[in-house]
Structure 1
Amino acid sequence: MDSDYDHLEFSERSLRMAFIRKVYAILGVQLVITTAVVLMFSYIDGIHDYVVDHPWVLYTSIAVAFILIIVLVCATNLRRTVPWNYVCLLLFTVAQSVAVGVVSSMYAREAVCTAIGLCAAITIALSIFALNTKIDFTVCSGFLFVSLIVLLLFGIFAAIFATQKNLEILNLVYASFGALIFGLYIVFDTQLMMGGKHRYSISPEEYVFAALNLYLDIINLFLMILALVGGRR
């Protein structure tokens, strides 16, 4: 009996480790694509000038990304079906990368590079923390969701009532609060992916969904850091 239990536990651990490797492989490809697009939009003057003069590029990429994320979140069977889950995720990543690239092109190149470096360092540090801490962040989903709603409402409030005098302060508060929330989400989603000793976990079949969650956490963290670094063109 003990031997059968140990074999089952070993099989579950092996399945979870394969799942984690697959998630990080997908996430790595997503981040490489996004980083390449962001640097291209920032350093190639022709592309920068075009997206600045043609705002439809930003609006179209946001609309496409929004539609695809709804599809990936709501269509459970689709995101578990190869190759359509990879196709949808790739299209979403490209659309999201273009949107982030357009936003990044509005900032100085030095600020973009600084934000990329800081985001990478913070993400690695938080991932290591999530893998080693005894604190279970998966029980904090309600708190994180409420914090995200507060951030959204604060952003709407700031957009409506911001003046030339308080704009910089509101931007600093919003970006700082946002960076904290998405940093916590990185820890939360990393532990969901790990499973094991944590109360909640993601099914090994949901590797696309897990990669999507972590990707969005990192992208949003990058945008918040970029807003904090400043240096608009």
Structure 2
Amino acid sequence: MTYEGSQHSDARGSRSKKKKKKKKVNMFQQQQQQGYTRAKTEEFDLESGETLYPGLSLGENQLRWGFIRKVYGILSAQIVLTTIVSLVTVFYSPINDLLKGNSTLLLFLLFLPFIFLIPLLKYQQKHPHNYILLALFTVSISSTVGVTCANTDGKIVLEALILTSGVVSSLTAYAFWASKKGKDFSFLGPMLFTSLFTLFLTGMMQMFFPLGPMAHAIYGAIGAMIFSGYIVYDTDNLIKRFTYDEYIGASVTLYLDILNLFLSILRVLREANN
């Protein structure tokens, strides 16, 4: 065999070896891809039962959980700020005496949260204005909560705080569990709004026709039931309906639900104690 012939045979041999290697590499890549596909399928099967509600994709589920964590982070900051402002109002005598002794200032503080609420909802998607307005709104509403707590026995305030924490935790857990099972609470909206409007009118009437202790306790109990319903309803909205840009609106909604539930329970306990 000539040198040229041996070169051709070597070339053919090397080409055949390359083809075999290529086949092996392709087979290995196919096996890897099949294994990856099986792994992804298994991952989907494992996590498909962990979505917030039926029919939600895994990608959307992760985004939704991120949104929920953000809302509860803001809500926690609001509650901490409310606690600090309320404690200062209760234990710092000059502020407490000023608020209790000046009915005009107290009335102004009652309406001040509504003044901040309007621009807050308008600019809720504009950073950092939304956080500044949220802080002002929270501080303004916390001062009136502090005055209410200052005029109530500390033991009753602590009892109301513990009861509120238990109710909120239980109802929130129930709303998440029910949503995962496919239940929907959107039907509660009209009933809760009508009940809240009736409660508001009754509260306005108290300014002209004061209620007795028993009527005050009943009023507080009805308020507690309404805001308990709102916690379930708004938590369901948080899971399913609030858009990702409405994190400020969602946190304010839940904050007001919790705060009004606390004040309603406080009213019931205070009247029961009297």
TM-score, normalised to structure 1, is 0.85
Identity %: 35
Q: Superposition pairs for residues 37-186 of structure 1, below 5 Å? A: 37-73=85-121, 75=122, 78-133=123-178, 134=181, 135-162=183-210, 167-186=212-231
Unaligned runs of 5+ in 2: 1-39, 45-55
Q: What is the CA RMSD across the aligned residues, in angstroms?
A: 2.2
Specify the alignment match of 1:11 in structure 2. Answer: 59
Specify the alignment match of 2:245 in structure 1. Answer: 205
CA distance in 1, matches of 2:104, 2:153: 22
Q: Tell me which of 26, 29, 35 is aligned to 2:74.
A: 26
Tell me the alpha carbon deviations over residues 175-204 of structure 1, each in whole angstroms, 9 at most, x when there is no partner: 000000001101111110011xxxxx1111
Amino acid at match of 1:148: L
Q: Tell me which of 185, 188, 208 is aligned to 2:233.
A: 188
CA distance in 2, matches of 1:218, 1:147: 17
Unaligned runs of 5+ in 1: 196-200
User: How much has 1:125 moved relative to structure 2?
Assistant: 1.0
TM-score, normalised to structure 2, is 0.73
User: How much has 1:161 moved relative to structure 2?
Assistant: 3.1
User: How much has 1:17 moved relative to structure 2?
Assistant: 0.7
SS in 2 for 1:29: helix
CA distance in 1, matches of 2:99, 2:207: 23
Q: Tell me which of 222, 225, 229 is aligned to 2:269.
A: 229
User: How much has 1:159 moved relative to structure 2?
Assistant: 4.0
Please say which of residues 131-140 and 217-226 is displaced more in the overlay.
Answer: 131-140
Q: Are the equivalent residues in 2 in contact too, given 1:119–1:218 (CA < 8 A)?
A: yes
Tell me the alpha carbon deviations over residues 37-72 of structure 1, each in whole angstroms, 9 at most, x when there is no partner: 223323344433332123344233223211111222
Specify the alignment match of 2:3 in structure 1. Answer: none
User: How much has 1:230 moved relative to structure 2?
Assistant: 0.5
CA distance in 2, matches of 1:114, 1:43: 19
SS in 1 for 2:151: coil
Q: Are the equivalent residues in 1 in contact too, given 2:218–2:268 (CA < 8 A)?
A: no
User: How much has 1:155 moved relative to structure 2?
Assistant: 2.2
SS in 2 for 1:137: coil
Amino acid at match of 1:80: Q
User: How much has 1:87 moved relative to structure 2?
Assistant: 0.8
Specify the alignment match of 1:198 in structure 2. Answer: none
User: How much has 1:111 moved relative to structure 2?
Assistant: 1.4
Tell me the alpha carbon deviations over residues 13-40 of structure 1, each in whole angstroms, 9 at most, x when there is no partner: 1111110000000000000111222233
Question: For the structure 1 residues 57 and 112, does the alpha-carbon distance in structure 2 shift closer, same or farther, using more than 3 Å as the test?
Answer: farther
Amino acid at match of 1:138: S
Tell me the alpha carbon deviations over residues 102-144 of structure 1, each in whole angstroms, 9 at most, x when there is no partner: 1221111221122112111111111111111244212221111
Amino acid at match of 1:51: L
Q: Are the equivalent residues in 2 in contact too, given 1:175–1:224 (CA < 8 A)?
A: yes
User: How much has 1:219 moved relative to structure 2?
Assistant: 0.7
User: How much has 1:227 moved relative to structure 2?
Assistant: 0.5
CA distance in 2, matches of 1:41, 1:204: 35
Question: For the structure 1 residues 64 and 153, does the alpha-carbon distance in structure 2 shift closer, same or farther, using more than 3 Å as the test?
Answer: closer
Q: Are the equivalent residues in 2 in contact too, given 1:58–1:98 (CA < 8 A)?
A: no
- Highest RCO, 1 vs 2 (Cα 8 Å, sep ≥ 6): 1
